[in-house]
């Protein structure tokens, strides 16, 4: 074990090599869409001679993006900032922290892993002011505070993780041209969505394209459906109890959510290709039906990343657009949003580490990435005009307008469930197995975990 830890430390030392000198992507003061007053404020923080080590999940092109943000912190404060990652970053951060050689800042997308680090005393609590900032300045702020709060080694709940960079799942994609030709309007409520799908069928069309295929991960797209439905049927506390296995998979509440999805996915009139195509269609191919002539379907519920799999040349906002997966306005649940994201925490305290968390509070730290690609934020103080395109801007607005945000449930459940029995159960459900039977089988798998 000591040999493994030593090897991990050595690898990390190599990974923390300082980057080559870089230029600022956007010159301070030249573009009014950025909050350059933040840069002037940051410039007053003198960290000369200090080194800040940051460990995160971003590699390849994504590492180039995060380095472009870190360069502003380097240039303004005078700190040396070394970023590193690993192909197996989840294991590497455990090795580094347990070996006593953690980075100053760790940024991770797995709440379960963060809880494990916190319970072992490997994280440093953030300030109460940091939690208050999130509560007051983030869309669904209390939800994000809860997401950043974990139990320490003594079982006390503390705010450890600051949210930075979000992912959005509660979206329905469609073709504006197809909607216009058919005379369909964007549904604003759950009832209107259900009415729309029936109208599409009555008009001779197919409402949905759904594909669950994903190699060894086949089934996961349906877990997102069920999670979104849970947030539209019940109070967020029920969702939380479900994630914690306090509300079981065979509970009538969860079975009801499974049934809502099954009623759509197993109805040959509601899905492109009929029920037999749902599990057999790869999720990357499933949205292509939106662009058929005539369209093979009119709607596709999927996360913000799915345009990467649209046909080449598809122009977002013109050829394809999205609307918020609407909630049931009769239940008083507001605008719940399902998603994921990365959280920044201090694993080795220092003045530079605290200054970096303060940097993440600044709109500028978000806007600089927003203006490039692949970045969404619920921070309400940003200038949304900084987004690289109108689609990202609209997605960011969904996060800001949210009244509740919940992290993807399957990612919070034990791996044997969230990345196992839940996936398999969704394939069975799409194949015609009853919601009651599927719920019982998933719960039996959970009960079998020792």
Band of residue 89 on the pLDDT scale cut at 50, 70, 90: very high
Structure confidence by residue, pLDDT tens digits, 114-167: 999 999 999 999 999 999 999 999 999 999 999 999 999 999 999 999 999 999
What is this structure's pTM? Answer: 0.93
Q: What is the mean pLDDT of residues 320-342?
A: 96
pLDDT on residue 450: 76
In the chain, domain spans? 2-159+340-402, 171-335+408-447
Residue 422 backbone zone (phi > 0: left; psi -120 to 50: alpha; other: beta): alpha
Tell me the fold of 171-335+408-447: D-Maltodextrin-Binding Protein; domain 2 (3.40.190)
Structure confidence by residue, pLDDT tens digits, 348-391: 999 999 999 999 999 999 999 999 999 999 999 999 999 999 99
Q: Report the percentage of the chain scoring pLDDT > 70.
A: 95
* pLDDT exceeds 70 at position 20: no
- Pairing of β 336-346 and β 404-407: parallel
| Domain 2-159+340-402 matches domain 171-335+408-447 at the CATH topology level | yes
Which CATH code fits 2-159+340-402?
3.40.190.10
Average of per-residue pLDDT values in the chain: 94
Query: What length is written for the chain?
Result: 450
pLDDT on residue 375: 97
Helices assigned H by DSSP within 45-149: 61-77, 89-98, 111-119, 128-137, 141-147
- For the four alpha carbons of 396, 400, 195 and 328, in that order, the dihedral sign comes to positive
pLDDT on residue 21: 46
Tokens of 174: 């469609």
Band of residue 22 on the pLDDT scale cut at 50, 70, 90: low
- Pairing of β 336-346 and β 161-168: antiparallel
Q: What is the DSSP letter of 216?
A: G
Q: What is the DSSP letter of 320?
A: B
pLDDT on residue 54: 98
* pLDDT exceeds 90 at position 424: yes
Helices 252-265, 220-233: axis angle to 10 degrees equals: 120
pLDDT on residue 413: 97
Residue 315, judged by CB atoms within 10 A of its CB (0-12, 13-18, 19+), counts as exposed
**Separation in Å, CA 245 to CA 241, 249, 251, 418, 431:** 6, 8, 10, 12, 25
Residue among 110, 136, 166, 337 nearest 236 (CA) = 337
Tokens of 392: 């990202």
Structure confidence by residue, pLDDT tens digits, 220-274: 999 999 999 999 999 999 999 999 999 999 999 999 999 999 999 999 999 999 9
Give per-residue burial for 69-84: e unless 16+ CB within 10 Å, then b: bbbbbbbbbebbbbbb
Structure confidence by residue, pLDDT tens digits, 23-78: 899 999 999 999 999 999 999 999 999 999 999 999 999 999 999 999 999 999 99
């Amino acid at each position: 074990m000591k040999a493994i830890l030593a090897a991990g430390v050595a690898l990390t030392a190599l990974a923390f090599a300082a980057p080559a000198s870089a230029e600022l992507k956007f010159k301070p003061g030249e573009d009014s869409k950025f909050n350059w007053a933040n840069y002037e404020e940051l410039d007053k923080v003198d960290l000369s001679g200090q080194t800040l080590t940051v460990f995160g999940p971003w590699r390849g092109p994504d590492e180039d993006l995060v380095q472009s943000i870190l360069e502003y912190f380097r240039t303004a404060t005078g700190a040396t900032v070394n970023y590193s990652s690993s192909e197996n970053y989840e294991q590497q951060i455990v090795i580094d922290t347990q070996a006593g050689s953690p980075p100053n800042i760790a940024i991770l997308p797995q709440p379960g892993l963060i809880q494990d680090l916190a319970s072992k005393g490997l994280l440093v609590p953030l300030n109460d002011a940091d939690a208050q900032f999130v509560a007051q300045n983030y869309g669904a702020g209390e939800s994000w505070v809860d997401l950043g709060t974990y139990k320490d080694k003594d079982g006390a709940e503390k705010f450890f993780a600051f949210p930075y960079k979000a992912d959005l799942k509660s979206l329905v994609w469609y073709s504006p041209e197809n909607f216009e030709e058919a005379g369909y309007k964007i549904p604003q409520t759950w009832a209107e969505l259900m009415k729309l799908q029936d109208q599409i069928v009555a008009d001779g069309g197919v409402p949905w394209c759904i594909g669950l295929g994903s190699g060894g991960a086949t089934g996961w797209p349906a877990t997102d459906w069920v999670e979104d439905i849970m947030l539209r049927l019940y109070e967020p506390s029920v969702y939380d109890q479900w994630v914690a296995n306090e509300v079981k998979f065979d509970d009538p509440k969860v079975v009801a959510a499974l049934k809502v999805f099954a009623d759509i996915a197993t109805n040959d009139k509601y899905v492109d290709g009929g029920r037999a195509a749902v599990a057999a269609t790869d999720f990357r191919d499933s949205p292509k039906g939106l662009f058929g002539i005539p369209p093979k379907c009119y709607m596709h519920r999927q996360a913000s990343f799915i345009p990467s799999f649209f046909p080449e040349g598809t122009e977002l906002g013109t050829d394809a657009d999205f609307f918020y997966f609407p909630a049931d306005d009769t239940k008083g649940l507001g605008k719940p949003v399902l998603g994921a994201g990365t959280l920044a925490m201090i694993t080795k305290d220092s003045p530079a580490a605290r200054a970096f968390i303060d940097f993440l509070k600044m709109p500028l730290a978000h806007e600089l990435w927003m203006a490039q690609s692949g970045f969404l934020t619920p921070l309400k103080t940003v200038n949304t005009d900084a987004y690289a395109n109108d689609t990202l801007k609209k997605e960011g607005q969904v996060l800001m307008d949210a009244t509740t945000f919940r992290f993807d449930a399957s990612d919070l459940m034990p791996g044997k469930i969230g990345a196992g029995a839940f996936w398999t159960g969704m394939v069975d459900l799409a194949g015609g197995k009853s919601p009651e039977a599927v719920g019982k089988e998933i719960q039996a798998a959970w009960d079998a975990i020792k």
